[in-house]
Amino acid sequence: MTKLFGPKKVWLKAAPLIFCCSQSSSADWKDTFQYHGFISQNFVLSSENKFYGESEKGSFDFTEAGFNLSLRPLTRLGLAAQVLYRRAGELEDEEVRLDYGVVDFTALEAVEVRAGLRLGRVKNPLGLYNETRDVAFTRPSIFLPQSIYFDRTRNFALSSDGGQAYGEYESPIGAFSLRVNVGVPTVDKSLEGLTFGRNRPGELNGKLSYLGQLLYEYQSGLVRLAFTTASAHASYDSTRNDLLQDGEFRFQPYIFSAQYNGERLSLTAEYAIRDTNLKGFGPLFPNVTTTSESYYFQGAYRLTEEIEALVRYDVYYSNIGDRYGGKFERQTNRPGSSRFAKDWTVGVRWDITSNWMARAEYHRVHGTGWLSDTENPDPKALDPDWDLFALELSFRF
């Protein structure tokens, strides 16, 4: 059975997305055609607060399904695409959308060096898990650490319409890869609610944005180190009788990632500093710049060939100048607990077969900083100390 840890798990990074396309030298392009799919159904129960539907009563409103395919009609030209169905409570409308779709041109390929260009809807290499976050088999838990991988702004971070230049170099001390994305991110009501506190009559639209990641891997993934940064932009177009004026939104994260993958033990840590700048919205929404901080430490251990246990500590502060929201509460009369979150997570994974997987996990959370305003419109009604339990059943082919 395929192991999840250690150098033998190279499939983990490439197979689910078929993102880079096979480097087949076959004269028949039909031999390069591949297709894969997956579906996951989840159950979410919370002691208080809503997360993915009416979770206080128990919610099944979290479903993911995807189908991807790839082929290489020419030795240096690859095509890959994935459609995704996702239902996530009130966080995301139930729909089928293009998750990614790229034309991949390999401009340079040698024994130690590879470089090329991808055009289309490109996944953003943000941290270690963003590119494969929707495929249950490739993420470490049912819910990724929310301090780094916010579900409430998932679509904004997930992909962009534009292009990606990439380069890879296999050196005597390890493999280096650099990816640079230029494109327009997806903006939806979740980002608007987070930015303004509620949906406004105007429209928030994505603008040309930039992202880059430098990744180092030692011994085929035994050790992975990465640095990611981005400059994401959006603009607000006001309407008649709108209390806001035309304004600009800029989001700039700096993410440091480290991971060790042994035969049984995997250790992961990520740390992020994010600058958010809002300007031009008029006197009712003054210009503001805030810096948030987040990090997590995670350990996973394979008890047997089929059973894996996980523990994680995850921390998020929306403003490092007011970590626990005291100033924010005095100024806005909104609870300070909405400005941070500390989450202890324990979980277990069972690989029933190579195609079926089941998971269970428990979260003990202090703070409501990463809960969605869309699902929880009244912050004063939220309980700052709450529990979250989730079950997941996944199938892939």
- The pTM score is 0.88
How far is residue 292 from each of residues 180, 321, 322, 367, measured CA to CA in Å?
A: 24, 9, 10, 15
Q: Which CATH architecture group holds 97-396?
A: Beta Barrel (2.40)
How far apart are alpha carbons 33 and 171 in whole angstroms?
30
Q: Which of 211, 209, 154, 155 is nearest to 183 (CA)?
A: 209
User: What are the CB-based long-range contacts (under 8 Å, 24+) for 282-288?
Assistant: 282/243, 282/244, 282/245, 282/247, 284/243, 284/244, 285/196, 285/244, 285/247
- What is the pLDDT confidence band of residue 20, given thresholds at 50, 70 and 90? very low
Number of C-beta neighbours around residue 203 at 10 A: 12
Model confidence pLDDT, tens digit, residues 146-189: 999 998 888 889 999 999 999 999 999 999 999 999 999 988 76
Quote the DSSP letter at residue 131. G
How far apart are alpha carbons 147 and 130 in whole angstroms?
13
Beta strands in the chain (DSSP E): 34-46, 59-74, 77-88, 92-109, 113-123, 159-171, 174-185, 203-218, 223-237, 247-261, 265-279, 288-302, 307-317, 340-351, 356-366, 385-396
Domain layout of the chain by residue ranges: 97-396
Question: With pLDDT > 90 as the criterion, what percentage of the chain qualifies?
Answer: 70
pLDDT at res. 17: 40
Number of C-beta neighbours around residue 367 at 10 A: 25
- What is the pLDDT confidence band of residue 12, given thresholds at 50, 70 and 90? very low
